[in-house]
Structure formats: C-alpha cells, structure tokens
Amino acid sequence: MPYPPRRPHSRTPWKSRPGKAFRPLAAVIASLLVLAPFSPVRAAVRDVLPLHVANESGRTGQVHLYIVGTDIDTGRLGYVDESGTFTPWPAGSIPPSPAPDVSISGPAGGATRTLRVPRGLSGRVYFSFGEKIRFFLTPTGLVQPAPWNPGDPNHDVLFDWSEFTYNDDGLWLNSSQVDMFSIPHSVAVTNGAGSTTRTGVLVTNGRERIFNAVQGQAGDWTSLITTRSDGLRLRVLSPAKGIDAGVFSPAYLDGYISSAWNTYRTRALTVVPFQHEPQKRFTGRTGADDVMRFTDGTGATVASFEKPGTKDVLGCDGRLHAPNDAVVGPIARTLCAAFHRSTLGHLHTQPTYDSGQFYTRDVTDHYSRIVHENMVDGRAYGFAFDDVGGFESLVHDGSPSSAAIGLTPW
C-alpha cells in the first residue's frame, strides 16, 4: 500500500495464518528504502507484467505454480490465473476450509512458462515439485503453508516461494529465506531498455553446501533440517521457525543479547538508520531498568526498547517490533539486523555496511551466515531485516518490461 514520502508500500494486509499479518518481501522493504533516497519513477507502468518462470533445476516431476496476494487498492485477498486476472477468494470457515485449486501448470525441465501479474498486487509466487500445495480459507484470510508445523498438510511437499509487490512505482521482487531455505531460485527484472538485473543465484552445488554446513554446525542447528521419508532433505528452517517448531533453543541468543545490551550502560550506541541522511542520528543508552532509550539531536527521548529475548531478535518482532514510521521502526530494524549479524556490542555505530564484520562471533545467526556465503553475489534474505544496509536478494525497477524467476540447478 502506498506509504509516503519515501516508501512505495507498507505491509500488506493479507493473512498468512489466521490473525497474523503477512509481510511481503519478507522483510518489508521499508527498511531498504529508508536507507537510500527513494525517487519514484513515474514512467508508465504496465497494467499486466509478464513473469517468466524458467525451470533449470534439473529435477524431474511436475512443477506447480501459484500467484496469491492482496489487491492493494481494495485489500481483497485472492489469486491470479495465468492470464493475469485477479479473483478474490470465496468465503472460508472455522475450522479452515480447503481453498479452490488455483495451481498453474509450470514449465518442464529446460522450459519457461510465462505468467502475468496485474498492477496493484502484493503477494507471493509459490512453486512446488511433484505434489500440489494445499491452501485453506478462514472468514478473514488465507491460511498458507506452515511446514515448520509437523501437522501441516504441506509438511512433506517440496515447495518454496518468492515475494513481490507490483504497483504504480514499479516492481519489487525477492527470493526469500526468511522462514526457510528449500528450492534454489533466482529473481530478475528487465527494464524498458532491455537491461536485466538478477540475484539469488547459488554457487555451484550451493544447495548441498547449505544443508551440509547447517548439519555440521554444533548445537540445535541440525534440527532445523527437514528430511522426507524417501531421504530427500526438503528444507532448512530459519532459527525463528525452529523455535516455533520446538526444535531450536528459545534462549540461544540470550547471553549475547545481555552482553551487548549491558555494553551501552557505560557508553553510547549511535544509530544512523538513513544512509542518505548521515546527520540524522539517534543515541541509545541502557538504563538501570534494562530499557534502552534513544534520544535525537535535541536530547528528546524518541524511542525505547525493553531488552529483547532470542525469539524477539530472531523474529525481528515482539520487543523489537518495527512500526512503519520514521524513527522507532528504523531504529528497531537496525538493532535487529545488528543482533543477527552479531555486530551489536562491539561496533558502536549502527548499521555497519562492511559485511566482513558480520557473523564473526561464535554465537550468531549461522543460518543466515551460511545462506549468504553460498550466494554468488552474497545477497540473501536470511532474516526479516536483512535489507538493512542493502544485503538482501531483491530486484526493483520503476518501469519494468518483464520479470523472471529461475528455478536454478541443484
């Protein structure tokens, strides 16, 4: 939805699970766009954008595609067919009722299938191999797959998704690893001049390297891997979803969080969340009550945060909830990114743009570290605000001629 003055949209209102708001682009690209000035491109934006899905995976089995999301203007939830027509979902029920089968037959190996995305839509493109994905409907929203739940009907389905927003200001399309890593896929956008930008490509044998590295990491990390009965390693859950699944310690980061939080009892933390506004700085100090308070240049307190726990940090929510505003949200996003990257507590101006400083501590988000290490360009969405500093696997164009998702080799 439009979000003036700099952001092209805010969080979409459609539902991923009953009662929980879905965040498109996984991390909500607001954090990216407040780190660099946004100048809307007002060239004509197509009513319907071609989206080419190429199957270069090398895997056998039928590919099934789905485009689901929300109409930005009306807030209606729905799906899109191959021609680009948006249709609202029928009413659901409690308990959730099965959604209609809205799958689109995907490309065979070595082939490409062209879908169409209507302007004014924010949502996801799902893809599965072999089995179809099962969706469900409630009276208020779409119940999407939650494979971290062993009882979810899609638990043993090989699937993944990309996230997008296409509106009057253009297209934002990303490959997301915020919840899990499963099917290697790239995203691309081609502008009106025919120039293509692509990201999300894994290094050679990257999928196996990621699974093996997570499996070899000491502690609960191995438990994040889901293996099907036929021996196929389906996915690696993010540690946040691992906590939800009960397989990852909800106290994993607590010691590091306390150490970093305590650092700022005796010295200041400087947050400069807007890269294009280096003069806009906020100073944080931790009080005796364990609350970190931030002041602006006038000395006025503008934000305060209780000490978060591991789940707050890994989910970038709870005590680190980031509203779509110009102060509290940007500070919260910066703190969350610094915790994930284990830079808070020893780098006292945040964010830092030197990726060589990331994930250098023993206690860190090894899941995100491993995913980033196995991307050709080092870019990924390893956690919800991985776009802080511009390290996310996102493509954008203000007036695109086409977009693409590549199911890449593994």
Residue 330, sorted as left (phi over 0), alpha (psi -120 to 50) or beta, turns out to be alpha
Res 44: pLDDT: 83
Res 168: pLDDT: 97
pLDDT digits (tens, 9 = 90+) for 50-88: 999 999 999 999 999 999 999 999 999 999 999 999 999
Whole-number average pLDDT of the chain: 91
Q: Does 36 have pLDDT greater than 50?
A: no
Distances (CA, A) of 34 to 213, 275, 280, 315, 322: 33, 8, 12, 20, 13
In this prediction, residues 206-222 reach a mean pLDDT of 98
* Residue range(s) in the chain whose domain bears CATH number 2.60.110.10: 15-245+368-407
Q: How sure is the predictor about 43, in pLDDT bands with cuts at 50, 70 and 90?
A: low
In this prediction, residues 329-338 reach a mean pLDDT of 98
Res 37: pLDDT: 41
Burial class (CB in 10 A: 0-12, 13-18, 19+), 204: exposed
In this prediction, residues 323-329 reach a mean pLDDT of 97
Is the domain defined by 15-245+368-407 classed in CATH 2.60.110.10? yes
Q: Does 13 have pLDDT greater than 60?
A: no
In this prediction, residues 235-257 reach a mean pLDDT of 98
pLDDT digits (tens, 9 = 90+) for 252-294: 999 999 999 999 999 999 999 999 999 999 999 999 999 999 9
Which active-site residues does the annotation give?
A: 163, 179
Evaluate the omega torsion of the peptide bond into residue 24 and state whether it is cis, within 30 degrees of 0.
no
Between 261 and 7, the higher pLDDT residue: 261
Q: Does 103 have pLDDT greater than 90?
A: yes
Looking at the chain, the whole-number percentage of residues with pLDDT higher than 70 is 90
Burial pattern 170-188, b for ≥16 Cβ within 10 A else e, equals: bbbbbbbbbbbbbbbbbbb
Q: Give Cα 94 distance to the centre of its chain.
A: 29
* Residue range(s) in the chain whose domain bears CATH number 3.30.920.50: 254-362
In this prediction, residues 237-264 reach a mean pLDDT of 98
The domain 254-362 belongs to what CATH superfamily? Beta-1,3-glucanase, C-terminal domain (3.30.920.50)
